[in-house]
A and B are shown apart, each in its own frame.
Chain A
Amino acid sequence: MAKITQQDVDYVARLAHLALDDATKERLVGEMTDILGYMDKLNELNTDTIEPMMHAQEMTNVYRDDVVKPSLNREDALRNAPQTNGEYFLVPKILEG
């Protein structure tokens, strides 16, 4: 039975890039324990010899010809960005110096 702790929630939130307040974390401890506990029922099944279903349809690689086609122009590509200088996306400074 999966028992999710506050430490688990902190760890997963860090991986997921989420900053949760204490009340949300506390609620998630309970909800994730319930939901993951429900998922534990899969352990009733022996699947040692079963192949995982990795793809929704049996398809081999789909290729196209390597031909250059028109793509998104710069104006359209930047139009929805929160911050740009008209040529690039701008983000907070990553490297000092």
Chain B
Amino acid sequence: MRSGETTAAEVTQSFLNRIKAVDGKVQAYTDVWEDHALRQAEKVDAKLKRGEDAGPLAAVPIGVKDVFCTKVGTTTCCSKILKGYRSPFDATIIEKLDAAGGIFLGKLNMDEFAMGSSTENSAVQITHNPWNLACVPGGSSGGSAAAIAADECAIALGSDTGGSIRQPAACCGCVGLKPTYGRVSRYGLVAFASSLDQVGPFTKDMKDMALALNVLCGLDPRDSTSSDIPVPDFTRALRDDVSDITVGLPKEYFTDALGGDVRTRVEAAVNVLKGLGAKVIDVSLPHTDYAIAVYYIICTAEASANLARFDGVRYGYRSPNVTDVRDMYVNSKTEAFGPEVRRRIMLGTYVLSSGYYDAYYLKAQKVRTLIRQDFQKAFEKCDVILTPTSPTPAFKLGEKTADPLEMYLSDIYTISVNLASIPGMSMPCGLTESGLPVGLQILGKPFDEETVLRVGYTYEQHRNLEMGVPPIA
């Protein structure tokens, strides 16, 4: 672009054309901002023409999970309760990406309020996996992962409370990173479970990931949970070298229950790193078995508190069937929240209710301490921990919707990472026999995304995979 061979407008138009060509099948976007995107592109082109710096992400096309507040378009969390909601402000990360020259192409589908592992809980539409349209894209950021896989944007924004970036990245064969809790501002992220939620990007490869993190990370005075720990230049972490790296494999993750292609692909990835000089050791995370129980107590409790704000007064849906104020609260919530959101509000209200608080919420917080300590101890012996991202590749649409507990168990390898507040990334490590991507998860010490990127980058250079492209392409 700087040489004048192409323009931001041309790049943007080519992505808009791509969306027109494939999104009828994938259904990743809930709203495409064609006019806005082309206007942003004109601004970038004008800057380039004047010889000005157009920013580190000049003309990079970006898709936004519909959980982030944007002044353009609506912000609905794919819920009926926020249908038509127009945010009066932009999330901090939207402001930052805009200032960096990024072009927003529109909003992406998700499970309602980010609750789900398949994006089937969206009140708007069903997103299909570009590798196999009969399969789910994963969730809750399923639209984001599918949009990257189908080349409908170059960076997609997601949020991750228990795996909602990493699991769909694995299902769709792209890179998805959940930074350390506190690394990225959450101002303008609609809250699900505040002690677990974190913002992160999806990209095709590690270089794009580093460039995206450079813009997204950093302290924000508007988010008191954002960290003042200095942000490095992540592109400097893209080094093809793991000779001084110790990789830990948690024995609780590689049990007999993990079989098939997922196991063989992940083990092959570990062997690639071993061949490049990384030291591979076994580590133990003894409380792994308790993570899902802890997670679903904490996340439902926090969700039931966060979602209490949808009262039909200041914004959102108000039931037309109202005679008094209590009716207004009750009928608005009942009519507009979907089944999974109501289920989690019920569970969260129960575990916080009088007589059960100590038995569930307090108990879960104590076991959360044990889970965090497991990781602290493991990281005394290694620099990164490698695991599968998900026990299975993408499952079929409709396969798990009838059994919520079964759906919850598909998050088994991602959930502990949020409980321990550490960074984790999923990247593709091959395809199954049936042609579905397998995700390798790389976990790092708190605020050490650099080592995660470095190990991922090294593997990327040597993985020698014929991933091919999704059939949708």
The chain A residues found within 8 Å of chain B, CB to CB, are 4, 8-9, 11-13, 15-20, 24, 28, 31-32, 34-36, 38-39, 41-45, 47, 50-57, 59, 62, 64, 72, 76-77, 79-83, 89, 91-94
Contacts and interface: CB of A to CB of B under 8 A. Distances in A.
Given A13-B346, A38-B405, A47-B370, A79 B88 contact: yes
B322 A92 contact: yes
Interface string B352-393: 010000001011111111101000000000000000000000
A82 B293 contact: no
B253 interface: no
A81 B325 contact: no
Interface string B307-348: 010001111111000111111111101100101001101110
Contacts of B330: 17-19
B13 interface: no
B296 interface: yes
B243 interface: no
Nearest to A16: B349
A20 B334 contact: yes
B294 interface: yes
A29 B328 CA distance: 26
B462 to A, nearest CB: 34
A64 B316 contact: no
Contact of A56 (B88, B181, B367): B181
B325 A39 contact: no
Interface stretch (B29-37, B220-228, B423-431): B220-228
Given A19-B330, A34-B405, 9 more contacts: A16-B346, A17-B308, A18-B342, A19-B334, A52-B362, A53-B368, A57-B182, A59-B182, A80-B86
Given A17-B330, A19-B331, A57 B342 contact: no
A52 B353 contact: no
Contacts of A38: 292-293, 405
A28 B343 contact: yes
B289 interface: yes
A88 to B, nearest CB: 11
A41 B293 contact: yes
B346 A51 contact: no
B88 A12 contact: no
Contact of B296 (A39, A50, A59): A39
A17 B333 contact: yes
Given A28-B346, A51-B366, A56-B181, A79 B325 contact: no
A13 B304 CA distance: 12
Contacts of A56: 181-182, 195-196, 225, 421
Interface residues of B, number: 68
A47 B294 CA distance: 13
9 contacts: A4-B350, A8-B350, A19-B334, A39-B293, A42-B367, A47-B363, A59-B182, A80-B86, A82-B317
Given A36-B350, A41-B290, A51-B369, A31 B343 contact: yes
B237 interface: no
A76 B86 CA distance: 10
A83 B314 CA distance: 8
Contacts of A28: 343, 346
Given A45-B290, A92-B322, A12 B370 contact: no
Contact of B347 (A36, A50, A57, A76): A36
B209 interface: no
Nearest to A59: B225
B88 A91 contact: no
Contacts of A45: 287, 290, 367, 370
A20 B349 CA distance: 15
B421 A57 contact: yes
B296 A35 contact: yes
A77 B346 contact: no
Contacts of B89: 72
Contact of A32 (B86, B88, B347, B353): B347
A69 to B, nearest CB: 10
Given A32-B346, A93-B324, A57 B227 contact: yes
Nearest to B329: A17
A80 B353 contact: no
Interface in B277-304: 287, 289-290, 292-294, 296-297, 304
Given A19-B330, A76-B88, A41 B325 contact: no
